[in-house]
Structure 1
């Protein structure tokens, strides 16, 4: 007799009934749905093309394991430039994982507002070379020790001093000691454009220290020695890289010449040939000049220019002392709601007058916010500041900002 092929349904039925006595048939049941206690809500902002721009964590704990998982995906998100953690519960392990993500991503803005740490770990974000340009630590319970740690990582030539342009530490507990560390940082930092210190405990001494770094000041012995060491190290490094690049250019050009000679040899030689000694020597001379120029370009692309803040172009000698021209790159300074008085306004007028005389390629101070300080409603210094702002077209900037705010309010109302 021919065996009949069993269908899948018959096979499953026979498998069920051939089990031993007292054994229940195996059935695939869905797992019970339970409430997830460790749920982490994540907000994502996309552009019209569906590309990820920002990740948001609001009112939640940010576990380090989640960041380790995100670290596997973030390098492939080339449009992700911002991470916001607000009212979050984070620890040093979270900062450590974020610090691992930054070097291999395109993230340029990091907002940790209202997310205080039990230990001082914020400075870990500024150790390595990253693309981070904006760091916001508003209402994070920062004190002077935290400010000193952060400012020490922004001193030239540390990696963070080359890319951080915006630093916000509003509504913290920073006093004159922390402001003094920021003043020391501003002596050599030539990248920071925006500094927000509103709502702290800074008085006249701290404000005057910050403003003093924005005008000419004598260099200390340590600054002069470190400047010379950096210059010598840069010259040595440039010579080493230049020699390697020059040899590579010569080797590559020699290979091209050998291939061209082989092609010429394969062709038939003409019966009559003119002397070409001057032409070949001229070509060799030109090729050497091209090789030197190409090697210099390659060297500059590899190590960059010497961005020394105390070089000859930014220093001068007076009474036997070496002076710096001061920091002319800081454009925005917010010192509102502190404890500033009349001496701060006097120093600010001096700074603005000094920068107005030396303003060339750099803008210098464009906007200073002093609201909420115990200052008189009108004084000679405040009037002088208004005149200086008028000369720098500051009133036009304020008008455009107000117009844009009105337009945005109209759009929201509609």
Structure 2
């Protein structure tokens, strides 16, 4: 009996050794974990760092050659093809611990993607990853699937990602967090451009935090281009929070809210930000502050103020607006001497509209914002405004301007009307609870969007309305006309007809 147990023990140890990373034979000069200097070779660094922490079972590192598949967060509706409903609803299947690494070439320093799937990351392994990732200069994508990360780990991950020179794609899926810390990955200074948060049970509370991270009147995410929130039990309230975040966000291009619990109310909120919407009192007050800062940054006084200009705002019946008016009077008095009458007039008016000058925005103007403008230009092609015959400096100045200072703001019946979000080019609401009731609202907002920007793709499949519904048919026809692929096919057909 003892021989049988000994044999079984030997087999277990042999199996464990096959699935455990081998520690390199080269001597390690560092005596402690903190002294070790990473060289960018994931397999070597990982094994040595684990040894310095005395990790008992070191996960294996498996390298694979690059594939031609594209990232799911590029706006494609791959939620159903890559994650089946059975995978979403069943408990996670924990596999043997290993790090799956995709290399650009045979060079061990060319790791471009790291995937950790189906096993729990403990504090020691996470500490190793934190130290190792910044040294991987070519790493572009980091994927955690059912890795049982904690809120504290995600908070630390934000700082680690900021130290990685090339890492821009983060997929954190199947990792429910008690404190819903996902929004930290969308902070204003985050360099992440593609973020997937599928199957995390985010719900309406988590959507509230994410919506606030997308934008508020005082801050906005400047770099995130695509966000996947599929399979997260987000309802109407959560959709309203996301819509609120899209009011002043002018970076996000792709958004997936598929396979959630969004109904007509949530769809209506999303439709509102796609078309024209009225500025709130808080947004008007912030706009006044931005206009004042812009005026103070321009030394030369403007010409006669046009009362009909949208920059000349209607008075706001509140103490905040009165204080703003007093600040304007004081600022004009310090800039130039004039009569009391002139000072009073200037104090009640905002700066005149200047269309040919750059409008710096001290709240949101950053060098990152300028870079984002160029990224958006390359990604979305013809969907950005002012796309023709513009120099790089002009493109940068257009991209970093706060939406509250948009030159297209109109004043109607004492209210300020802001053009809708035309930066978003792909929206997926497939697999929700939308009925025929909210479709006319969506159609109306889409019709308000001009050819200079707006949605090019809207997914509404698998909702609670008939495919033959009149409003839905019109939406599909409108999207078909906007689809760049269909336009290219149409142009090719015309060219062939002309040749024949």
TM-score (norm 2): 0.56
**Worse-matched range after superposition: 309-318 or 140-149:** 309-318
Counterpart in the other structure of 1:191: 251
Unaligned runs of at least 5 residues, structure 1 = 1-33, 240-295, 401-414
> For the residues of structure 2 that align with 1:82 and 1:330, how far apart are their CA atoms?
23
**Are positions 1:85 and 2:177 aligned together?**
no
SS in 1 for 2:447: helix
Q: 1:72 Cα shift?
A: 3.2
**Are positions 1:367 and 2:457 aligned together?**
yes
* Contact 2:120 2:148 (8 Å CA) reproduced: yes
**Worse-matched range after superposition: 98-107 or 193-202:** 98-107
Counterpart in the other structure of 2:171: 111
Q: 1:388 Cα shift?
A: 1.5
Aligned pairs for 1:47-66 (under 5 A) are: 47-48=104-105, 50=107, 51-66=110-125
CA deviations 1:326-349 (Å, max 9, x no partner) are 100111111111110112221121
SS in 1 for 2:404: coil
Q: 1:158 Cα shift?
A: 6.5
> For the residues of structure 2 that align with 1:384 and 1:102, how far apart are their CA atoms?
43
Aligned pairs for 1:14-413 (under 5 A) are: 36-37=56-57, 39=59, 40-48=97-105, 50=107, 51-105=110-164, 106-127=166-187, 129-156=189-216, 161-233=221-293, 305=397, 306-355=400-449, 358-360=450-452, 362=453, 364-393=454-483, 396=486
Q: 1:225 Cα shift?
A: 0.9
**Worse-matched range after superposition: 227-236 or 346-355:** 227-236
Cα distance change of structure 1 residues 222 and 160 upon mapping to structure 2, 3 Å threshold:
closer
CA deviations 1:292-316 (Å, max 9, x no partner) are xxxx99x998696452102242311
Cα distance change of structure 1 residues 376 and 80 upon mapping to structure 2, 3 Å threshold:
same
| Structure whose alpha-carbon radius of gyration is higher | 1
SS in 1 for 2:266: helix
SS in 2 for 1:387: helix
SS in 2 for 1:205: helix
Q: 1:377 Cα shift?
A: 2.6
SS in 1 for 2:173: coil
* Contact 2:55 2:124 (8 Å CA) reproduced: no
CA deviations 1:91-128 (Å, max 9, x no partner) are 11210221111211132111011122233211222335
**Worse-matched range after superposition: 86-95 or 390-399:** 390-399
Counterpart in the other structure of 1:28: none
* Contact 2:217 2:283 (8 Å CA) reproduced: no
Higher share in helix? 1
SS in 2 for 1:112: strand
Counterpart in the other structure of 2:331: none
TM-score (norm 1): 0.67
> For the residues of structure 1 that align with 2:220 and 2:121, how far apart are their CA atoms?
25
* Contact 2:154 2:182 (8 Å CA) reproduced: yes
Q: How many residues align?
A: 306
Cα distance change of structure 1 residues 56 and 236 upon mapping to structure 2, 3 Å threshold:
farther
